[in-house]
Chain A
Amino acid sequence: MDEEYDVIVLGTGLTECILSGLLSVEGKKVLHMDRNDYYGGESASLNLTQLYRKFRPDQAPPADLGRDRDYAVDLVPKFIIASGELTKILVHTDVTRYLEFKQIAGSYVYREGRISKVPSTEMEAVRSPLMGLFEKRRAKKFFEFLQGWKDEDPTTHQGINLDEDSMKTVYEKFGLEAGTQDFIGHAMALYLDDDYITKPARPSYDRIVLYTSSMARYGKSPYIYPLYGLGELPQSFARLSAIYGGTYMLDKKIDAIVTDSDGKFVGVTSGGETVKAKQVIGDPSYFGANGGDGGKVRVVEEGKVVRAICFLKHPIPGTDDSDSCQIIIPQNQVNRRHDIYIAMVSSTHNVCAKGVYVAIVSTVVETDRPEQEIAAGLSLLGPIYDKFVDITPLYTPTSSGQADNIFITRSYDATSHFETVVEDVQDVWKRVVGSDLVLKKREVEVQN
């Protein structure tokens, strides 16, 4: 290991793998290491053995769950928005050639004790019990306004300035009820709390348009999901990196991050050997999140997420036996500040044995009894065969890394999709490379 690298990347989570893929394509010499003997870090998908080793080290998986290798259980529940930023990166880097996707079959929202489908067609919207007849007319006017909006044509603005007027102003202009606002802000714009309401309407507008254009793409929900689980995503970017010369090492304990007398990054020590590089990128767990790294703490906790991975032997009640779905419980409905999410996938996605359904219930922790906070979500699932509860701190770096060449990514947040992961990739890229990330099309190899 006496070679010198441009960049050492620590941790093979999705954020780190996208970065090492893109950096390798750019011609950088990358060494990518992980302490685990599997890919994916915090965003891995685990087989049963790995899952039990992580949560219940002294218990073997029960035999009636089926074959170990049929399982790929996500640790972080997220879906891919069909027209979102991650899709763009997948398409532009051509890692789509390593992946197959399935549509998520439906998106549901909780209202007054029951769940209803988020309408995906005009017909469904007309029949939806989510709004009364007059409210439907008002909502229609609101959506027509959004659809018709053209920045350069003031006649489409109806007196609204998206960059100055708040979303509250927009809702009031169309006379939308509180329940409808909940639905639009949480089930469509996918905000986790209500802070957006008093802010300028532009980002909400963008998010609603993203939602509806993604919905229009495949028809049932705005989401797609990779067969064999989310863990396929980091692996496909790792392959991209390797094809461009990136070197991969798993099962490597990182003993120390070596710096010079000015605190600038020098190299990484593993197994008694120090590998040198100009820069290091890594997830928070390599930089003091777990108290490691010689006591030097380079990240701070920003809050916690509670996630309960639940095995079911039936689809979620009230979802028309969907093989997959998202259910959003808007905060107002259960007197919370943050929404509760349920993400469910099944054997159709090659992530578990036939007849098993994997639902993950999650939310941002607000009290000192996190498991209690997701009770409203758990109660929608019906009988739970088994449950693994994880309370994960969310870390963010304390500095940009430009002074010491140590660049740290963020933990995976509570949002239901990957948009914030891509924002982090873009942010770290800018800090590492010094310029905005511009996606280039990978050269298609000559084929006969």
Chain B
Amino acid sequence: MSPATTSTQPVNVKLLLIGNSSVGKSSLLLRFSDEQWLPEDESSATIGVDFRVHKMDVKGKKVKLSIWDTAGQERFRTITSSYYRGAQGIILVYDVANRESFEALPRWYSELETYVSSSVVKILVGNKVDKEFSRQVPTAEAEKFAARMSSLFVETSAKTSVGVKEAFTEVVEQIMDTPELWENTSARGQGTAHGNGGVPGGVQVVGLMDEQKPGEGCAC
């Protein structure tokens, strides 16, 4: 087994974005990781976003975040089950100015029940608060729902960047407060790459070392 993470080794954390199409998941990711905002008419061109790597310090620990986007596969509810593998935190997004995106949340939670363990940290994010004039989901209602679903809650605007940093920071802080999620990554089975940004160009074969039994001839 690998030794406990030392203070110089960053902790790898995998976050996922889910929620209905057009609620602003990709925009939140872009705002947080690249401090960018694409004008409304250009944002449909944000294909090609696989995941973003972001480094931060949380409570004295170095954290290497990889944040994965849906690749648009939420549009017809065809997100692959492999998308969920190894996630430690889930960001569920709805649009405060779109009631339907809020009503769809129970379905997203039930999808989570199927694919991720219950200890995974969840945060409910009400996005587009800059559209206050056309709000359809009251803050108090969403807050109550989040509490019922054992989720953190925050309202954001990817456009004005209100609350965006807080949303990501709060999930990561709670993950760091739940050592079972990251201390021994092999809790999930084996402990390497999934979602740690992968190593481009290589094949990750896990468990090569601990498989060699002593006394057995080695092929090298």
Contacts and interface: CB of A to CB of B under 8 A. Distances in A.
A348 B210 CA distance: 13
A91 B80 contact: no
A242 B77 CA distance: 13
Interface string A242-277: 111101111000000000000000000000000000
B21 to A, nearest CB: 12
A447 B204 contact: no
Interface residues of A, number: 48
Interface stretch (A116-124, A142-150, A168-176, A363-371): A116-124
B99 interface: no
Given A98-B198, A100-B190, A242 B72 contact: yes
Interface in B190-218: 190, 192-194, 197-208, 211, 217-218
A90 interface: yes
Which one of B47, B81, B114, B202 has the highest number of Cβ atoms from chain A below 10 Å of its Cβ? B81
Contacts of A179: none
B217 A123 contact: yes
Interface string A343-386: 00000101000000000000000000000000000000000000
A323 B218 CA distance: 19
Interface stretch (A216-224, A295-303, A418-426): A216-224
B47 A69 contact: no
Interface string B55-88: 1000000000000000111011110111101000
Interface string A224-244: 100110001001101100111
A114 interface: no
Binding site secondary structure of chain B: loop
B54 interface: yes
Contacts of B81: 39, 235
A336 to B, nearest CB: 32
Interface of A: 39, 69, 82, 87, 90-91, 94, 96-103, 105, 120-121, 123-124, 215-216, 218-220, 224, 227-228, 232, 235-236, 238-239, 242-245, 247-250, 348, 350, 441, 444-445, 447-448
7 nearest A-B residue pairs (beta carbon)? A97-B198, A219-B219, A242-B71, A235-B80, A248-B78, A123-B217, A235-B82
15 contacts: A39-B80, A69-B114, A96-B199, A99-B204, A101-B203, A101-B205, A124-B217, A218-B208, A219-B218, A243-B71, A244-B48, A245-B72, A250-B77, A448-B33, A448-B53
